[in-house]
Amino acid sequence: DNREIILKFLNLKEKKVLEKLIEKKGEVLQSEINLMEGMTKLKTHRAVKDLERKNIIKTETYGKTNRIILLEDIIIGLVPGTV
């Protein structure tokens, strides 16, 4: 399915970020990802920047952190309940 195809092209840290986005219905704070097992601020920052470059996510400033948003054309087929 679409999810498996996309995940094949991502490294482990990018997959963690994407899985968290799927779990949170396409939107999560960067500070939440920092707290995940195996993630640090630097690893999160690099994964987010790489996903942005791949046009999978976009970021918005949200207080002292960033809101990470799965792009609309990616969310369809990845997040359960979207068409």
pTM for the predicted model, two decimal places = 0.88
pLDDT exceeds 70 at position 26: yes
Q: Residue 65, exposed/middle/buried by CB under 10 A (0-12, 13-18, 19+)? A: middle
Q: Residue 21, exposed/middle/buried by CB under 10 A (0-12, 13-18, 19+)? A: buried
pLDDT exceeds 70 at position 24: yes
The pLDDT of residue 82? 67
pLDDT exceeds 60 at position 65: yes
Least confident range from 23-32, 47-56, 60-69, 72-81: namely 72-81
